Amino acid sequence: MATGEHHPVLFEEALGALNIQADGCYLDATFGRGGHSAGILARLGSRGRLVALDQDPEAVAAARERFGADERFAIWQANFADIDRLPIPEADRFDGVLMDLGVSSPQLDQPGRGFSFRADGPLDMRMDTTRGETAAEYLRRVSESELKRILKVYGE
């Protein structure tokens, strides 16, 4: 497993906006490699709680390795869109929610994930590599006109 290193942009600003209280309960809805989570945990007291979500199995494994022994921390492999379906006891009482949306540095750095623009690799491009079709599978089945539409509407 490649855990990689990711340094969150606007780290202090993001944590400052959360106004973290020592006994608060917070959600890091996009754990990534835990940069924001580490900052939140450093500001929490012994009664504080941090719940984290990530759909990337490698990110979840990194979370368990890095913070698994901390009783204030819990990680779920899930997309934040599915939070209402998860049996998270704290879900109705979060004092703050952080979402750092997008691809993380480790995902970009691994050519096999299919996100890299610096190295050749398979067209996977899934956040959760265990679910859904790969980009290559999608491209094999999509029509040229649909692909043009998608690139026009969503491309940069």
Cα(92)–Cα(40) distance, integer angstroms: 19
Containing 49, the helix (H) or strand (E) segment is strand 49-54
Segment 17-54, tens digit of pLDDT: 999 999 999 999 999 889 999 999 999 999 999 999 99
pLDDT interval class at 3 (50, 70, 90): very low
The CATH 3.40.50.150 portion of the chain extends over 11-102
What pLDDT does residue 5 have? 58
Mean pLDDT of the residues in the chain:
89
CATH superfamily of 11-102: Vaccinia Virus protein VP39 (3.40.50.150)
Alpha helices for the chain (secondary structure H): 11-18, 35-43, 57-67, 105-109, 135-141, 144-154
pLDDT for the residue numbered 9:
75
Instruction: Name the pTM for this structure.
Output: 0.76
